[in-house]
Structures are given as C-alpha cells and as structure tokens.
C-alpha cells in the first residue's frame, strides 16, 4: 500500500499547532509573572518563543525560521531532560511523564530542524 503523500503538509501543520498549544498549556505560568532572574523561567520563556516561531515559520517561504526554532526546541528540551536523568538514575525515570513530553518535543524540534518547510 502506498503512503498518502498529499496529507503530509496538513500533518506537519497539525504537529506545529499541537506543539504550540502544548507548550502554551504547559508553561502558562510564564505569562502570569515576569521572573527574569530565574534561569528556569528564562528557559521556559525561550521554549514558548521557539514554539511560536516554529508555528509562524511555516508561513514563511524560506525555512530559516523553522530550522532555527526547531533546533532551539530540540536543544532546550534536551537541556530540560538532563536534570531528570542526573537526579534519578533508577529505572523509575521511565515512569515520569515529563521525560516523555520533553523527549517528544525534542524529537519534533529535530524533525523541523532537519526538514524545514518542505
């Protein structure tokens, strides 16, 4: 059976919208207060900004914005995974849903960093 290639652009837009909505719902506290001295707050704010730029990068003819924001999402999600693995070296880390969420966002960011707007 052949894949349905006509719906690939629609599926990429669904992924963009899903990432944007997920990041906004996960990091809503960023909009409520402004704590520029906290490094975790800044990382979360840049993560939301990268998700917004990933979404709006799809409207651009050039794929530079999509590639840069996808790479930022990937790197920031991997950075957020690092403390989880350092603090908990047991197998129970696999039961943590934050690991799955960060890993999925990192994979989606890597997808858009490698694919661009194609």
Structural domains of the chain, count = 1
14 within a domain of the structure (yes/no) = yes
Tell me the two tokens of residue 110. Answer: 């890597």
1 within a domain of the structure (yes/no) = no
34 within a domain of the structure (yes/no) = yes
- Is pLDDT at 105 greater than 90 in this prediction? yes
Mean pLDDT computed over 2-27: 92
Segment 26-49, tens digit of pLDDT: 988 888 888 888 888 899 999 999
Q: How many helices (H) and strands (E) does the chain have?
A: 5, 0
- What residue numbers bound the domain in which 68 lies? 6-115
Q: What is the mean pLDDT of the chain?
A: 90
36 within a domain of the structure (yes/no) = yes
pTM: 0.87
């Amino acid at each position: 059976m052949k894949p349905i290639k006509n719906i690939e652009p629609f599926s990429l837009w669904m992924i963009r919208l899903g990432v944007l909505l997920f990041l906004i719902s996960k990091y809503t506290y960023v909009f409520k207060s402004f704590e520029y001295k906290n490094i975790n707050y800044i990382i979360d704010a840049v993560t939301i900004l990268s998700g917004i730029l990933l979404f709006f990068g799809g409207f651009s003819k050039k794929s530079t914005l999509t590639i840069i924001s996808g790479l930022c999402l990937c790197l920031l999600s991997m950075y957020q995974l690092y403390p989880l693995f350092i603090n908990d070296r047991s197998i129970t880390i696999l039961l943590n849903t934050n690991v799955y969420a960060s890993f999925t966002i990192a994979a989606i960011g890597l997808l858009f960093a490698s694919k661009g707007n194609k």
